[in-house]
A and B are shown apart, each in its own frame.
Chain A
Amino acid sequence: MDISFALTGKGYVIVAADTTAARSIVKMKVDEDKIKVLSPHLLMAYSGEPGDTVQFAEYIERNIRLYHIRNTYALRPPSAASWIRRSLADSLRSRRPYAVNLLVGGYDTSTHTPHLYWIDYLGTMSEVPFAAHGYGAYFALSLLDRYHDPEASVEEGLATLRRCLDEVAKRLVVTPEKYKVKIVDKDGVREVEI
């Protein structure tokens, strides 16, 4: 039931994910953070099989951090996304694959460009201007297609995200009550209320 959205704009990427942790029909908590900060300019929203998600996200987080410590600079978003995809693809071909879907958003400080990658549990990856995972995707992608602007300011970007969240709240049978929203730009990562 996880829902996550992400969209790029002028020099930033916004990543949003619901905060519900559920098991079967029971809502366990409503303040779960499903967006990991992998490096100073990199975010990853994860969803999928409970257990797999946290395990895989922490594995990625630690390895990206290790690269940063070893080399003094962090992996750039395209390289980090490629490595994450590779990890998922290798996992898929193992005895017990991870079933995790990801949105990786980052700001490349060497080329000054935002990057967003849509990755699914099969190891499919594509660089996109906006993306969604989960049931939210059915309602939001058409909205994003209509309203997304790669040159939009942060305020305009957040307004577009707001539209998506409202549409999900209006139409989805079981709608999440809260979302966590994080923005990554040249200054790094920050969390915003929506």
Chain B
Amino acid sequence: MARRYDSRTTIFSPEGRLYQIEYAMEAISHAGIVIGARSKDGVVLAAEKKVTGKLLDMSGAKGQSYGGSGEKIFLLNSNIIGGVAGITADANSLINYARQAAQRHLFMYNEDIPVELLAQRLCDLKQGYTQYGGLRPFGVSLLYAGYDPHYHFQLYHSDPSGNYSGWKATCIGANNGTATSLLKQDYKEDISVADAIELVLKVMSKTMDSTTLGSEKLEFATLTLDAEKKPKAKIFNPAEIDALLHKHGLAKKDEERDVAAPVPSDQTL
């Protein structure tokens, strides 16, 4: 009878808990980690790709597509990038929903959707699954890194219950306890985006299972302002990630490096 309060999302257990929501959060804590850090002139997201079998054909992901070619970091709108941890299929559906919500806002108001408003839109949807029964909640946590004229650079986190909160630096996924305490230790007020990149990479290298970082394990993105003060999202392609890691001394040694991923000479950072 232990399963009496487990099977439906909308039924409280006698202790006042919603088990399905807690199980969904558990699913997320096994997913690859996503770390975000906010600075005064930009936001940074980094994500760990979990399974990369040798036979998985990633040739399509070598180039840079508009929405990000990866599995974990996506462009939600021109001013917001999202990082996901959890069930990938659920995440894809949420990302589609987010992009639609953002475009709806653009259509109605002729402005990029404010970051918090987009987080709210997704949380309204997620909260619905904790109250209207018969279905499974989304097994996805998201990080939203964005910019809007109201509050400038922002970083939000949302979880399957529909809760959301704003952060200076945070993370979701496996080992998030270790990463959080590292971020707490090393985060400083008024850091620049370059410092934030360094911080995120450092925490990433310490929390990931593998000893050396490489583009086959890592996804990376930044959001800054361009010369016209418009938000500019940049989702790094594999060659750019390797170059970035190399710059920070976190890359693999040359002899270990994959033959398939040389740094093209025309790629600069």
Task: State the A residues within 8 Å of B (CB).
Answer: 71, 73, 75-76, 78-80, 82-83, 86, 110-111
Instruction: Pick from B110, B114, B116, B117: contact of A78, CB below 8 A.
Output: B110
Number of B interface residues at 8 Å Cβ cutoff, please give it. 9
Whether A78 contacts B108 by the Cβ 8 Å rule is: no
CB of B178, distance to nearest CB on chain A (Å)? 35
Instruction: Pick from B109, B110, B149: contact of A111, CB below 8 A.
Output: B149
User: In the assembled complex, which residues on chain A have CB atoms less than 8 Å from the CB atom of B110?
Assistant: 78-79, 82
A111 to B229, CA, bound (A): 11
CB of A43, distance to nearest CB on chain B (Å)? 18
A75 to B108, CA, bound (A): 12
Q: Does B186 contact A (CB under 8 A)?
A: no
What are 13 sample pairs from A and B whose C-beta atoms fall under 8 A apart?
A: A71-B117, A73-B150, A75-B109, A76-B111, A76-B149, A78-B110, A82-B108, A82-B109, A82-B111, A83-B108, A86-B108, A110-B149, A110-B150
**B151: nearest chain-A partner, CB-CB:** A73
A79 to B149, CA, bound (A): 12
Whether B150 contacts A79 by the Cβ 8 Å rule is: no
CB of B153, distance to nearest CB on chain A (Å)? 14
Whether A79 contacts B109 by the Cβ 8 Å rule is: yes
Whether A79 contacts B117 by the Cβ 8 Å rule is: no
A73 to B152, CA, bound (A): 13
A82 to B112, CA, bound (A): 12
Instruction: Pick from A73, A83, A110: contact of B109, CB below 8 A.
Output: A83
- B108-135: CB near A (< 8 Å → 1, else 0) gives 1111001011000000000000000000
A128 to B196, CA, bound (A): 42
**B148: nearest chain-A partner, CB-CB:** A110
Whether A78 contacts B149 by the Cβ 8 Å rule is: no
User: In the assembled complex, which residues on chain B have CB atoms less than 8 Å from the CB atom of A80?
Assistant: 109
A80 to B114, CA, bound (A): 14
Closest CB pairs A-B (n = 9): A82-B110, A110-B149, A79-B109, A79-B111, A73-B150, A83-B109, A82-B109, A83-B108, A86-B108
CB of B156, distance to nearest CB on chain A (Å)? 14
A75 to B110, CA, bound (A): 11
**A85: nearest chain-B partner, CB-CB:** B110
CB of B101, distance to nearest CB on chain A (Å)? 14
User: In the assembled complex, which residues on chain B have CB atoms less than 8 Å from the CB atom of A76?
Assistant: 111, 149
Within 8 A of A (CB), among B72-96: none
User: In the assembled complex, which residues on chain B have CB atoms less than 8 Å from the CB atom of A73?
Assistant: 150
CB of B174, distance to nearest CB on chain A (Å)? 34
**A80: nearest chain-B partner, CB-CB:** B109
A79 to B107, CA, bound (A): 10
A42 to B83, CA, bound (A): 36
- B141-180: CB near A (< 8 Å → 1, else 0) gives 0000000011000000000000000000000000000000
| B109, B111, B116, B150: residue with the most chain A Cβ atoms closer than 10 Å | B109
A80 to B108, CA, bound (A): 9
**B109: nearest chain-A partner, CB-CB:** A79
CB of B185, distance to nearest CB on chain A (Å)? 32
Within 8 A of A (CB), among B19-76: none
**B112: nearest chain-A partner, CB-CB:** A79
